[in-house]
Structure formats: structure tokens, C-alpha cells
């Protein structure tokens, strides 16, 4: 298997050199447990039949049923889904959730499909993987280019197959179909809780901080809006087609409303509105956004955005990984040497899966929580794990990523140890 997965695993070597763990752990975490590759027939609106490639990878389930989203994106491959499933394993352990890690995807340009084609594809995907998922086995959720509506279709298809209503099989569902209040904003909200904690520790003032946000999907858009409300200046925002920059700061809510009408940020007539009169903004490229001199560069798009190619030109003081794997392992080292702080994905974006866990709990208990309760518990979880990681990084003199991995891997090591390792089985029972 190629690149991203090898690169993802490379970070474990450093972690294992710092803890005492049986070779069993190394061996267990080097391979995904199940990799399912499927070909999904999709009837198009014009009658044509297309067959699309899909995947579900369950990486490791020692800490509980596997958990992770499903993405619809042309770049989806076995390598990408396996890397994402690996990160989910670490992430669920970092957040202290009783889950293993998984991920799924279909290689397709979701934007080119009609609504009905999208529904047929979502249902077809579930038919193809139904045998290996379930509320106590593997629980899908939204990821790039999938959303609550799609989760609703997927859950409905699963209920039809098993002839039971088991909402705990999928999280991120619409609220009226068993979804949790607060799930939609959870990834962005969780990222902000981590940033706030970091800013507080560093003694910085949010009102004086400038943030650039790469990516304006669910996570990026909610993060930008919430950070703006908290007083940060959002000076640049990009989507897959382009970016806008304003020295005086942008209003992400307005951009969100305009994106709904114009569909892409760089084409947006930001000047349509009154904000333009007081705001001078310009259209820039995605690459230019990454290289802006800001306090925080929030990466909320795809993996591998900061690489050998551009790492030397990064000027931000800190990077907030709202997406999964936006910085490759080589650049991670370079950034550390250059004194640029990276707040790592396995902590920063764990708010999404944490509220997915809350949704699963609500589905299984039948007792539904108020939004304030969801937010309160999310804040508590994010701050607890963030504080632990910040302190460990300081105490042990390691990067925040290494501290986060150590934190998660130790929990996985504990589970593997308690099941018995080579050392245990080689002992003479006496
Ligand atoms: N796709 C999200 C992630 O990468 C959420 C996963 C989930 O809720 O299971 O963390």
C-alpha cells in the first residue's frame, strides 16, 4: 500500500520509541483488521448504469465497535480510506471513546450527481457493506461531501435490510430521524474549544488574533462562524475553488449565506452586501491562503495540504488541524524545527466523533438530550483531553502531535496488554 498510509504509520515509530509496549502492539497496529472493497451499481437519472468503487476499512476494534465517517470524493482510494481509518483508531482513543476506528468512502464527484442519484448511491453503498456494520460492530457517520440527509437514507436502508429500527447503526442523522442536537456543528465547535484552551494557556487575546481558514465544508464553516462570534478575526476563507482575503476581517455567516446562492467563494459577490462598504477584500488562491502571515492557519479541507512543496513558505504562527491529516509527517518535523505549533487533528477534530458517540448513547438509551447538555459534555471532554495533551507535551518536551499520539496509543496499549501479549503467554503459569 502506498504513500499516505505509510506516512501515517511512520508517526507511530516515534511514539513506540517513547513507551514500553510489547511488540504485539506494533504488530497489531500495523495492519487494518478488515478492508472491504465493493463495486456499487448506480442507475443514473438518464437510465445509464454506472458502477462506482467503494470501501469500508475497519482498522482496529480492541477498544470497542469501530467508528468513522463515509466520504464521497473523487480522490477516495484504498490508501486514503485505510489512513483515515487508522487516524480514527487513534482519535477515538485520544478522546477516550469506547470505540475502535474505521472509515468508508466512494470514489465519486458528489457534486455531479442529482439528489436522486445521491440517494440511490447512499442506499447502494449500505447494501454493499451491510454485512459488516451494525450498532455494536461498526458505526458510519458523515465525512467529506456526505451529510445528515445522506445518513438518514443510509440508516433507513439498513433498517430495511435487517427489518429492525436500529438508529445506533449510523450517527450524524437528521434530528427528526434520531440525530443528536449539536452534531452538525460539533467538529467546528470542538476545534474552537481546543483553540480557546490553547490561547488561554499561551496568554493570548482572541480579539487580536487573525485566522485563515482553508475549507468551507461542515467543519470549516462552523469553525469560522463560531471563532468569529468568539472575537477572532477571520481574515481569509477558501473553498475547493478559490479564496477570499480581507485585512479588516470577513463575516463567515455572510459568506455562508452567499455560498448557498453563488456556490463558490471566489465568485461570490461579497460586495453585494453592506459589509463590502466597510470591508476591502480580494480574491486569492488556495496556495496563497496557506502562506498568509496569520496567527492561526486552520486547515479544514483535505489531507496532505502542507507538504515538502510548501512547508518552507508557511508563515502562520500556529496550525489548527480541523481536517484529517492536512500536514504530512515530513512537514511536521520542519514546522517543529521552525517553531510553528501544530495543534493535531486527532485532538482538534475529535469533537465530531465525540458528539457521534453522544448520539449513539441517546439512540441506545432512548433518552434524548437538550442541545446545552450536548455542548456542555463536548466542552468537558475536549478540555479534559486537550489539557492532558498540553501538559504532557510540556512535561516531556515533545510536540503536541507526539503527546496526543502517546495519550491515545497508551489507551490502546492498555487494552492489548489486558487481553494478553507475548510476554504474558510466554510466562510459565506455575
Ligand atoms: N468523519 C468525522 C471524523 O473524521 C466523524 C466521524 C464520526 O462521527 O464517526 O472524525
Whole-number Å distance, alpha carbon 386 to ligand 1 midpoint, is 18
> Exposure string (b/e) for 311-348, b if CB count within 10 Å is 16 or more?
beebebbbbbbbbbbbbbbebbebbbeeebbbbbbbbb
Which residues on adjacent β-strands are paired with residue 343? 320
Q: Is 289 helix (H, G, I), strand (E, B) or coil?
A: helix
Contacts of 263 (CB under 8 A, 6+ apart): none
In angstroms, what is the span from residue 273 Cα to ligand 1's centroid? 35
408-419 in b/e form (b: 16+ CB < 10 A) is bbebbbebbeee
Closest of 319, 325, 380, 382 to residue 351, by C-alpha: 382
What spacing in Å lies between the alpha carbon of 143 and ligand 1's midpoint? Answer: 6
Q: What ligand 1 atom has the least distance to the C-alpha of 84?
A: 4
Cβ atoms of 415 and 63 within 8 Å: the answer is yes
Provide the pLDDT for residue 263. 66
Could you tell me the distance, in angstroms and rounded to a whole number, from the CA of residue 101 to the centre of ligand 1? 10
What is the DSSP pairing of strand 138-142 with strand 100-106?
unpaired
Does the beta carbon of 353 lie inside 6 Å of ligand 1?
yes
Atom 8, ligand 1: which residue's CA is nearest? 353
**Ligand 1 within 6 A of CB of 402:** no
- Tell me how far apart the alpha carbons of residues 121 and 139 are, in angstroms, rounded to a whole number: 18
C-beta of 152 in contact with ligand 1 (< 6 A): no
With vertex at residue 345, the alpha carbon angle to CA 343 and CA 351, rounded to the nearest 5 degrees, is 105
Residue 412 has a pLDDT of 95
Active-site entry in 67, 91, 103, 173: 103
Q: What is the pLDDT of residue 270?
A: 46
C-alpha cell at 398: 515533545
| pLDDT digit string (tens) for the chain, length 430 residues | 458 898 888 888 888 888 887 778 888 899 999 999 999 999 999 999 999 999 999 999 999 999 999 999 999 999 999 999 999 999 999 999 999 999 999 999 999 999 999 999 999 999 999 999 999 999 999 999 999 999 999 999 999 999 999 999 999 999 999 999 999 999 999 999 999 999 999 999 999 999 999 999 999 999 999 999 999 999 999 998 889 999 999 999 988 888 777 666 655 444 444 434 445 688 999 999 999 999 999 999 999 999 999 999 999 999 999 999 999 999 999 999 999 999 999 999 999 999 999 999 999 999 999 999 999 999 999 999 999 999 999 999 999 999 999 999 999 999 988 888 778 788 777 6
83 touches ligand 1 (CB under 6 Å): no
In this predicted structure, what is the pLDDT of residue 1?
A: 45
Could you tell me if 122 and 157 are in contact, meaning their C-beta atoms sit under 8 angstroms apart?
yes
The response to whether residue 68 sits with its C-beta less than 6 Å from ligand 1 reads yes
Q: What is the pLDDT of residue 267?
A: 55
- Ligand 1 centroid vs 105 CA: distance in angstroms? 12
Residue 411: the pLDDT is 96
How many other C-beta atoms are found inside a 10 Å radius of the C-beta of residue 379?
Answer: 17
Instruction: State the closest ligand 1 atom to the C-alpha of 356, by its place in the atom list counted from 1.
Output: 8
DSSP label at residue 248: T
| pLDDT at site 102 | 98
Q: Which of 8, 179, 182, 353 to mutate to test the pocket of ligand 1 (most atoms within 8 A of CB)?
A: 353
User: Distance, CA 91 to ligand 1 centroid (Å)?
Assistant: 9
Residues 326, 416: Cα–Cα separation, whole Å? 29
**CA-69 nearest atom, ligand 1:** 1
What is the spatial distance between Cα 341 and Cα 344, in angstroms, rounded to a whole number? Answer: 9
Which among 61, 69, 147, 303 is the best mutation to test ligand 1's pocket, defined by most ligand atoms within 8 Å of the CB? 69
Atom of ligand 1 nearest to the CA of 350: 10
CA distance 150 to 142: 8
* C-alpha–C-alpha distance, residues 418 and 365, integer Å: 28
| Ligand 1 contact via 352 beta carbon (within 6 Å) | yes
CB 63 within 8 A of CB 99: yes
Q: Among 56, 142, 325, name the best residue to mutate to test ligand 1's pocket (greatest count of ligand atoms within 8 A of Cβ).
A: 142
Is residue 103 part of the annotated active site? The answer reads: yes
Rounded to two decimals, what is the model's pTM? 0.94
Ligand 1 centre to CA of 355 (Å) is 9
In angstroms, the CA 420 to CA 218 distance is 41
> Which residue in 291, 179, 196, 207 sits closest to 243, CA to CA?
291
Amino acid at each position: 500500500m502506498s504513500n499516505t498510509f505509510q506516512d501515517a504509520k511512520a508517526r507511530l515509530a516515534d511514539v513506540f520509541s517513547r513507551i514500553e509496549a510489547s511488540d504485539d502492539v506494533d504488530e497489531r497496529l500495523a495492519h487494518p483488521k478488515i478492508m472491504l472493497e465493493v463495486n456499487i451499481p448506480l442507475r443514473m437519472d438518464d437510465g445509464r448504469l454506472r458502477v462506482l468503487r467503494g470501501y469500508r476499512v475497519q482498522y482496529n476494534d480492541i477498544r470497542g465497535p469501530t467508528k468513522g465517517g463515509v466520504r464521497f470524493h473523487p480522490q477516495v482510494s484504498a490508501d486514503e480510506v485505510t489512513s483515515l481509518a487508522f487516524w480514527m483508531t487513534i482519535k477515538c482513543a485520544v478522546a477516550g471513546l469506547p470505540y475502535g476506528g474505521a472509515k468508508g468512502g466512494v470514489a465519486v464527484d458528489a457534486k455531479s450527481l442529482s439528489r436522486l442519484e445521491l440517494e440511490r448511491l447512499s442506499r447502494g453503498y449500505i447494501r454493499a457493506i451491510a454485512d459488516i456494520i451494525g450498532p455494536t460492530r461498526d458505526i458510519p457517520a458523515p465525512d467529506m461531501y456526505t451529510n445528515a440527509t445522506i445518513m438518514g437514507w443510509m440508516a433507513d436502508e439498513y433498517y430495511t435490510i435487517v427489518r429492525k429500527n436500529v438508529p445506533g447503526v449510523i450517527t450524524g442523522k437528521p434530528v427528526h430521524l434520531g440525530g443528536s442536537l449539536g452534531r452538525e456543528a460539533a467538529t467546528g465547535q470542538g476545534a474552537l474549544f481546543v483553540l480557546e484552551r490553547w490561547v488561554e494557556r499561551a496568554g493570548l487575546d482572541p480579539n487580536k488574533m487573525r485566522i485563515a481558514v482553508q475549507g468551507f465544508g461542515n467543519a470549516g464553516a462552523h469553525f469560522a462562524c463560531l471563532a468569529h462570534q468568539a472575537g477572532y478575526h477571520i481574515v481569509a476563507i477558501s473553498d475547493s475553488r478559490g479564496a477570499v482575503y480581507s485585512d479588516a476581517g470577513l463575516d463567515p455567516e455572510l459568506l455562508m449565506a452567499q455560498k448557498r446562492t453563488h456556490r463558490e467563494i471566489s465568485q461570490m459577490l461579497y460586495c453585494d452586501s453592506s459589509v463590502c462598504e466597510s470591508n476591502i477584500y480580494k480574491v486569492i488562491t488556495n496556495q496563497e491562503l496557506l502562506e498568509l502571515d496569520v496567527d492561526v492557519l486552520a486547515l479544514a479541507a483535505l489531507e496532505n495540504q502542507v507538504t515538502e512543496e510548501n512547508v518552507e513558505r508557511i508563515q502562520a504562527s500556529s496550525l489548527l488541524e480541523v481536517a484529517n491529516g492536512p500536514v504530512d509527517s515530513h512537514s511536521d518535523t520542519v514546522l517543529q524545527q521552525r517553531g510553528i505549533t501544530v495543534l493535531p487533528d486527532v485532538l482538534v477534530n475529535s469533537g465530531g466523533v465525540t458528539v457521534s458517540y453522544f448520539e449513539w448513547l441517546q439512540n441506545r438509551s432512548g433518552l434524548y438530550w437538550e442541545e446545552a447538555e450536548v455542548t456542555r459534555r463536548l466542552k468537558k471532554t475536549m478540555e479534559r483531553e486537550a489539557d492532558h495533551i498540553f501538559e504532557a507535551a510540556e512535561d516531556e518536551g515533545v510536540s503536541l502531535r507526539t503527546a496526543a499520539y502517546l495519550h491515545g496509543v497508551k489507551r490502546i496499549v492498555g487494552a492489548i496488554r489486558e487481553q494478553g501479549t507475548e510476554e504474558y503467554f510466554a510466562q510459565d503459569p506455575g
